[in-house]
């Protein structure tokens, strides 16, 4: 009987592995063709299918690579490899922790990066606990801060976290997800026990942090210095094997390992993910305060449009952090774009389509794509009353981007602003079919082909009359 069960499990794993490899083979064929229609016909479908793909059957070393490829740091590396291998051998799933403080009501794509990696680990067969920091939010995470976070009331915190589970539902399998609120164990945690823990932690571990040292004498509170220890008590309570977080959480997660050791537990493996850049191309972290973010609850058209606005240079990061595209598949797409066999705009559309499909479904993704393409068609621009119009050609005084923007704004535009726009891929020529071509120089427009009907400078769209 045991042998029959083992054989059945092995057969099932082989079938799943065949499906796994088939998806990669089909996508590889479409990329090898270099035909964008062939790529569109298979890539969006397979990216979507992979988000629900059972990868519990793949070898432990391949599971490790799938985690490492989407991680910035894994500490300790060998320990994660050993835990994955042991889990495969024993059939006992690993316990994985991810925490988020409800300091705001919206979760955005930057927050979603480790959550998407959590989804991979769920599909490997491991248990995920999503910790909502209703207690720690009262302190405010000081990581990377130049000033203390505003103190939130319990009412504000509970209001913020009302929709958290709903927001992550498209990404995680909520049926197998455990959601905990750390007030459950921290509200009744005794001062005596806390002092006992603190007695084993060197003050230097907190005070050597750059973000703390820079704020000593300028508003750093004792509550903030205790934040990493309080957060670590979540790991102690859950006795987690692994914790995920953004790289700004690395020092906090290292404290989790320390405190688990104080309690005599086996310290968790910590995995950090990179910080996602905002859609504005400024190089700054995605965030609501800079209005350079995409919220999970934005409408389908908003998400599609915002993703389409990112500089081409960010596509690799967004594909890597947010989708199930394999690294070698991105390399193939990159080569097709470099050789001009595939327009970068089409590759970006596939990215936008995949994210809308994830958050709103396939039909919404199709409609958002159609709406975007209509918006960038010549007909749509012709229907917009008052769209600025510039005549270019022989004998015209308009010879440069600076001339065009100065004329539209009716004031002189500085060279520094133009250089910034160009460096961020903010100057584009648009054809009547909606295809966009990046202008890489600030000075002369040279001879603009007659099929280029519009120029977009920043957020301003101007009709070109030849």
Same-domain check for residues 350 and 398: no
Same-domain check for residues 397 and 447: yes
Q: What is the tens place of the pLDDT at every residue in 278-313?
A: 998 888 999 888 889 999 999 999 999 999 989 899
pLDDT at 423: 75
Residue 381 has pLDDT above 60, yes or no: no
pLDDT at 445: 57
Residue 451 has pLDDT above 50, yes or no: yes
153 domain-assigned: yes
Residue 322, both tokens: 């947010």
Same-domain check for residues 331 and 366: yes
285 domain-assigned: no
Report how far residue 345's alpha carbon sits from residue 79's, in angstroms, rounded to the nearest whole number.
42
Residue 455 has pLDDT above 70, yes or no: yes
Q: What is the tens place of the pLDDT at every residue in 328-361?
A: 999 999 999 999 999 999 999 999 999 999 999 9
20 domain-assigned: no
Same-domain check for residues 186 and 95: yes
Last residue of a domain, one of 347, 382, 417: 382
Report how far residue 184's alpha carbon sits from residue 304's, in angstroms, rounded to the nearest whole number.
39
Same-domain check for residues 179 and 117: yes
Same-domain check for residues 263 and 317: no
pLDDT at 2: 44
Bridge partners of 462, per DSSP, are 455
Window from 28-37, 306-315, 443-452 with minimum mean pLDDT: 443-452
CA dihedral of 5, 6, 10, 15, whole degrees rounded to 10: 0
CATH number at residue 321: 1.10.240
pLDDT at 239: 98
158 burial (CB, 10 Å; 0-12 / 13-18 / 19+) is middle
Which residue has better confidence, 140 or 11?
140
pLDDT at 262: 97
Mean pLDDT of the chain: 85
Domain that holds residue 371: 300-382
Average pLDDT of the residues in 375-403: 61
Same-domain check for residues 68 and 194: yes
Window from 42-46, 182-186, 401-405 with minimum mean pLDDT: 401-405
3 state SS of 307: helix
pLDDT at 54: 94
281 domain-assigned: no
Q: Where are the alpha helices (DSSP H) in 323-414?
A: 327-338, 344-360, 362-375, 378-382, 401-409
Last residue of a domain, one of 241, 275, 309: 275
Same-domain check for residues 170 and 198: yes
Which residue has better confidence, 180 or 12?
180
Same-domain check for residues 316 and 256: no
Residue 378 has pLDDT above 60, yes or no: no
Report how far residue 335's alpha carbon sits from residue 317's, in angstroms, rounded to the nearest whole number.
16
pTM of structure: 0.76
Q: What is the tens place of the pLDDT at every residue in 123-159?
A: 999 999 999 999 998 887 766 554 556 777 888 888 8
Most confidently modeled range among 134-138, 315-319, 398-402, 461-465: 315-319
Residue 167 has pLDDT above 60, yes or no: yes
Same-domain check for residues 233 and 370: no
Report how far residue 40's alpha carbon sits from residue 50's, in angstroms, rounded to the nearest whole number.
16
- The percent of residues above 70 in pLDDT, for the chain, comes to 83
- The percent of residues above 90 in pLDDT, for the chain, comes to 56
Report how far residue 124's alpha carbon sits from residue 282's, in angstroms, rounded to the nearest whole number.
36
33 domain-assigned: no
Average pLDDT of the residues in 412-436: 72
Domain count, the chain: 3
Residue whose structure tokens are 């927050």: 111
Average pLDDT of the residues in 366-377: 81
pLDDT at 9: 47
Last residue of a domain, one of 352, 382, 412: 382
Which residue has better confidence, 310 or 80?
80
Angle at 156 between CA 143 and CA 181, to 5 degrees: 65
Residue 364 has pLDDT above 60, yes or no: yes
Same-domain check for residues 187 and 147: yes
130 domain-assigned: yes
Average pLDDT of the residues in 65-80: 97
88 domain-assigned: yes
197 domain-assigned: yes
Q: Residue 73 to residues 70, 254, 270: CA-CA distances in angstroms?
A: 9, 12, 8
pLDDT at 288: 83
Same-domain check for residues 373 and 434: no
Report how far residue 254's alpha carbon sits from residue 268's, in angstroms, rounded to the nearest whole number.
9
């Amino acid at each position: 009987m045991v042998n029959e069960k083992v054989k059945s499990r092995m057969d099932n794993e082989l079938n799943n592995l065949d499906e796994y490899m088939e998806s990669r083979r089909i996508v590889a064929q479409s990329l090898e063709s270099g035909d964008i229609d062939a790529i569109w016909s298979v890539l969006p479908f397979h990216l979507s299918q992979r988000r629900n793909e059972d990868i519990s059957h793949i070898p432990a070393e391949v599971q490790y690579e799938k985690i490492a490829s989407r991680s910035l740091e894994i500490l300790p590396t060998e320990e994660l490899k050993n835990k994955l291998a042991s889990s495969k051998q024993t059939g006992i799933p690993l316990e994985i922790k991810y925490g988020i403080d409800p300091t705001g009501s919206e979760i955005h794509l930057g927050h979603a990066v480790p959550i998407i990696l959590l989804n991979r680990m769920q599909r490997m067969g491991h248990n995920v606990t999503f910790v909502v920091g209703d207690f720690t939010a009262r302190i405010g995470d000081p990581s990377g801060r130049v000033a203390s976070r505003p103190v939130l009331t319990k009412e504000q915190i509970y209001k913020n976290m009302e929709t958290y589970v709903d927001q992550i539902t498209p990404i995680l399998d909520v049926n197998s997800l455990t959601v905990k609120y750390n007030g459950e164990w921290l509200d009744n945690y005794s001062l005596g026990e806390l002092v006992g823990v603190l007695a084993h932690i060197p003050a230097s571990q907190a005070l050597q942090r750059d973000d703390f040292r820079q704020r000593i004498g300028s508003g750093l509170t004792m509550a903030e210095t205790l934040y990493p220890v309080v957060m670590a008590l979540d790991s102690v309570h859950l006795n987690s094997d692994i914790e995920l977080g953004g790289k700004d959480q690395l020092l906090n997660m290292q404290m989790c390992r320390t405190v688990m050791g104080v309690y005599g537990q086996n310290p968790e493996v910590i995995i950090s993910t990179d910080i996602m850049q905002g859609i504005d191309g400024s190089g700054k972290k995605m965030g609501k305060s800079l209005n350079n973010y995409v919220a999970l609850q934005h409408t389908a058209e908003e998400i599609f449009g915002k993703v389409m606005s990112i500089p081409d240079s960010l596509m690799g990061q967004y594909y890597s952090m947010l989708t199930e595209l394999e690294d070698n598949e991105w390399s193939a797409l990159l080569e097709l774009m470099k050789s001009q066999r595939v327009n970068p705009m089409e590759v970006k559309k596939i990215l936008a389509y995949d994210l809308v499909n994830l958050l709103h479904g396939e039909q919404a993704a199709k409609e958002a794509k159609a709406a975007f393409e209509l918006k960038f068609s010549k007909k749509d621009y012709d229907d917009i009353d008052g769209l600025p119009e510039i005549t270019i050609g022989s004998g015209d005084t308009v010879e440069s981007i600076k001339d065009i923007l100065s004329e539209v704004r009716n004031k002189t535009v500085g060279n520094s602003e133009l250089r910034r726009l160009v460096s961020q891929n903010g100057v584009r020529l648009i054809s009547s079919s909606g295809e966009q071509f990046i202008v890489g120089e600030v000075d002369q427009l040279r001879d603009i082909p007659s099929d280029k009907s519009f120029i977009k400078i920043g957020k301003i769209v101007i009709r070109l009359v030849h």
